[in-house]
Amino acid sequence: MISRYVSLLAVRSAARGALRLIRLAAAAALIVAAAPVSLVAAGSATAAWLRGWPPGRLYRAAAGCLPMVVVWLAATAVATRSWRSVAAAPYLAWLAMWHHAAAGSYPDAAAIIAPAAVPLGLLAGGLAWSYRIRSMETGSGGLSPGSAVAFDWRQWRHQVRSARAMIAAPGSLPLTTQNGAVVAGAVIRAIGHQAGRVAEIPYPRMRSHQVVIGTTGTGKTTLLLRLWAGFMATALRRHAAGLGHPPLLVVLDCKGGADARRIADRARRVLRGAGARATAIWPDEASLSLWTLPPRQLTTTLLDLIEHGTGAAAYYADVMEAVVALAVDAPCGPPAGAADFLARLDPGWLNLAYAAGRNDSDLALVRSAARQFGDIALRFRTLFRRLGGGLDGPGGFGDADAWYCILEGTAEISVAEGQARALVDLLASYAAGPDGSGQAREILLAVDEFSAVSRRLPIWQLYERARSLGLAVQVSAQSWQGLAADDDERYRIAASADGGIWLLRTPYPEPVTGLAGTRKLVDTTRRLLGVPIWGHQGTSRIASAPVADPALIRSLDVGQVAYIYRGGVTFIQVKRLIGGPAALAAPARATAPQPGLAAHGQLPQGPPAGREPDVSEPDDGEPDVSEPDVSELLDEAFGAEAGP
């Protein structure tokens, strides 16, 4: 009995072995018979593995070969005038290929079979590569327990290498696309987003709130400059086409110091390349006027700029509010500057101002607060001295396409907080301006190094009403903790970022990656037959995994960023923008048109839409032909030119 059972087992094993051999032989025969298809499939799958391509790219390549197939079949139909010949064309080509190969004419053989073999090979390669990726993702593939991890890490390296090669190629990545999307860089990997080679951010997302988090030295400034330039270029193009209002970019660099000024200069050059006519650098080169605020808003802002205590100090806060309101709402109109305002913090001035209007209640208020006037004036005099003249000069946000405001948040935190508060109030007032001037701008407020001023700048309040003002807010910080003072505000800011969250390398990405959510995937367990070989038996189950892997975020290299949006994440290698100096174009020629220039009276073709502004050698304007001599005319009008 036992011997019979053993024999049965032996027969079953032999049969299984034979069946397996037959399968292998059949597969080998099929591979050999379809050698051209097999070769293309193997080559394409290997290329996809080496470059980290998704299978979809091979499918698209196969689809791209279809015109070749159509032309081939059409040529066959025309030559043979028989539909049967067309139907049999692949088989006949296969036969002819083997005949030519047998005769040693390999190029002819390849040419004959290529129209059929290339698309089929690409399709087969894509399917094989897809199967491989899926089996490794689910844990059902690989020879050892660490195979899936090693495969994923190796693929990441390959994808990064491809993305870096793409951004290094000149002209491969424009600043914007034809449809106005901002190109951030080359895609490394996409999960939950459409996989493409170029990371395109649609313009409406640039008009929504965004958050950028990344530690120093991870490429945050490079990313921000690219986003700002893309916003400016697209908005200007839309405005020129009559599709939108002119843009206004306001950057609050809350770090300050020499580094901020270097970045400001870089931003100005980059923005100029993107089309911005004027970039004002505050307070170094331009000023704004706090006194253009509406009186009620001016009173509130002035009071908010001064820190008040609690408890008994609340009494003095009330007195101060009353005095400031009297000074601002004086019958002669609001103050025109800091000196004017300080001059009004005097009982004599206020008595005189309100006496004419017989405002008895106001005069009584002045008399009752007379003893505090000196202290209040002292506090405001100190405040204005610390704030500097940047908020006291002429000018408004409407004077330039972009404002780069430098706040000394590292050296003087309290001053930076006050300045940030005043600037945001000014911008909000401009955006909601009674004359409608601000509402006719598409405004992007970017607050860089927000942690320096987050204590007193309630930006989430601005977040919530910004939409109605046509104002988008982009907040950047070095860490999750730097976004706001407490978790409640941090989550408010991050959850309102409907334009997406940009996450660079940071040591604590979990709260943000948690916002990206989870995805379902198949988790497979397999039996371990021996070290380190796995068996093919096991179980699979549906499990949840984070869309944005925190471990991957922590290991991001410089210039790599994870863009989290709507439950998906795209890892991007950011393309650096380099701003050039303003170029002097070559002079026009009326009498001697230069070759290559358009005919007189016609515009030469400008740069293509979304052309990279990081251009280029500045043209020094050197004429190719000599200038016409105008000295006779000028001598007649103004006399001869003399030396200095």
Partner 1 sequence: MIPAEGTAAPRPPSDEASSDVAGSGITGRDVAGSGVTGRDVARPGITGRDVAGLLFAAEMYGVQLDQLAAVLRVSESRARAIAARWRRQRYAESARLGPGAPWLWLTRAGLASCGLPYTCAPPALSRLAHIRAVAAVRLALESASGYRAAGAYWRSERRLRARLGGRVGLRDHLPDGEVHWPDAAPVAWAGECWAVEAELTRKTVSRTAAIMGELLSRTGDYGCAAADAAVPGRPPRHARVLYLCSPAARPTVIRAREALGSAAARVEIRALPPGAAMEPAVRPAAGQQAARQPSTGQPSTGQPSTGQPSSGQPGTAR
CB of 235 to partner 1, least distance (A): 10
CB of 392 to partner 1, least distance (A): 16
CB of 405 to partner 1, least distance (A): 13
Which residues would be at the binding site for partner 1 (CB under 8 A)?
233, 236-237, 239-240, 246, 272, 275-278, 280, 285-286, 395, 398-401, 582-591, 597, 600-604, 606-607, 615-616, 618-623, 627-630, 632-634, 636-639, 641-642, 644
Whichever of 18 and 582 has its CB closer to partner 1, that residue is: 582
What is the Cα–Cα distance from 469 to 430, expressed in whole angstroms? 9
Whichever of 50 and 597 has its CB closer to partner 1, that residue is: 597
Rg, C-alpha atoms of the chain: 35
Report the candidate in 587, 586, 588, 609 with the shortest Cα–Cα distance to residue 600.
588
| Contacts made by residues 621-626, CB under 8 angstroms, sequence distance 24+ | 621/584, 621/585, 621/586, 621/587, 622/586, 623/586, 623/587, 624/586, 624/594, 625/589, 625/592, 625/594
SS3 of 224-278: HHHHHHHHHHHHHHHHHCCCCCCEEEEEEECCCHHHHHHHHHHHHHHHHHHCCCC
Compute CA distances 220 → 263, 267, 405, 515, 566, whole Å.
12, 13, 18, 20, 22
CB of 236 to partner 1, least distance (A): 4
Whichever of 112 and 236 has its CB closer to partner 1, that residue is: 236
Whichever of 312 and 640 has its CB closer to partner 1, that residue is: 640
CB of 588 to partner 1, least distance (A): 3
Report the candidate in 126, 136, 187, 188 with the shortest Cα–Cα distance to residue 521.
136
Residue 171, exposed/middle/buried by CB under 10 A (0-12, 13-18, 19+)?
A: exposed
CB of 499 to partner 1, least distance (A): 23
The answer to whether the beta carbons of residues 243 and 235 sit under 8 Å apart is no
What is the Cα–Cα distance from 207 to 176, expressed in whole angstroms? 15
Whichever of 129 and 282 has its CB closer to partner 1, that residue is: 282
Whichever of 154 and 277 has its CB closer to partner 1, that residue is: 277
Report the candidate in 207, 251, 229, 213 with the shortest Cα–Cα distance to residue 502.
213
Token pair for 248:
């206004």
What is the Cα–Cα distance from 259 to 8, expressed in whole angstroms? 82
Whichever of 196 and 395 has its CB closer to partner 1, that residue is: 395
CB of 260 to partner 1, least distance (A): 19
Q: How many distinct helices (H) and strands (E) make up the chain? A: 23, 13
CB of 293 to partner 1, least distance (A): 20
CB of 203 to partner 1, least distance (A): 15
CB of 600 to partner 1, least distance (A): 7
Report the candidate in 184, 162, 172 with the shortest Cα–Cα distance to residue 563.
184
What is the Cα–Cα distance from 212 to 217, expressed in whole angstroms? 14
Whichever of 5 and 638 has its CB closer to partner 1, that residue is: 638
The answer to whether the beta carbons of residues 566 and 202 sit under 8 Å apart is no
Max CA pair span of the chain: 130
CB of 275 to partner 1, least distance (A): 3
Whichever of 238 and 421 has its CB closer to partner 1, that residue is: 238
Ramachandran angles phi, psi of 546, nearest 5°: -65, 140
Whichever of 134 and 589 has its CB closer to partner 1, that residue is: 589
Whichever of 41 and 175 has its CB closer to partner 1, that residue is: 175
DSSP alpha helix (H) spans, 241-372 = 257-274, 295-305, 313-328, 338-344, 347-355, 360-368
What strands, in cross-sheet order, belong to the sheet with 501-503? Answer: 198-201, 182-191, 568-574, 560-565, 501-503, 210-213, 471-477, 442-448, 247-253, 402-406, 279-282
CB of 614 to partner 1, least distance (A): 12
Whichever of 437 and 544 has its CB closer to partner 1, that residue is: 437
DSSP secondary structure code for residue 596 in this structure: T
Compute CA distances 442 → 207, 240, 268, 424, whole Å.
8, 13, 19, 16
Residue 351, exposed/middle/buried by CB under 10 A (0-12, 13-18, 19+)?
A: middle
CB of 177 to partner 1, least distance (A): 16
Whichever of 189 and 237 has its CB closer to partner 1, that residue is: 237
